[in-house]
Amino acid sequence: MLSLRKGEECIIMKDNKIMLIILSFFYIFVIQIHYYEFAFTLIAVA
């Protein structure tokens, strides 16, 4: 029973790590889009 619970915790930890990686990639992606948008508006204004 204890080992099963430990295994479940391991799976949850792994899932959290995957979610964290996906979130960080999404975050970087969103920031990059805003950065390029900002750069394009600067070019358009200039």
Residues 6-26: tens digit of each pLDDT? 677 666 667 788 888 888 888
What pLDDT does 36 receive? 81
pTM: 0.45
Domain extents for the chain?
1-46
What pLDDT does 3 receive? 62
| Residue 23 in tokens | 């979130």
Tens digit of each residue's pLDDT (9 = 90 or more) over 23-38: 888 888 888 887 888 8
What pLDDT does 4 receive? 63
For residue 22, the Cα-to-chain-centroid distance in whole angstroms is 4
What pLDDT does 12 receive? 66
Give the C-alpha separation, 13 to 19, whole Å.
10
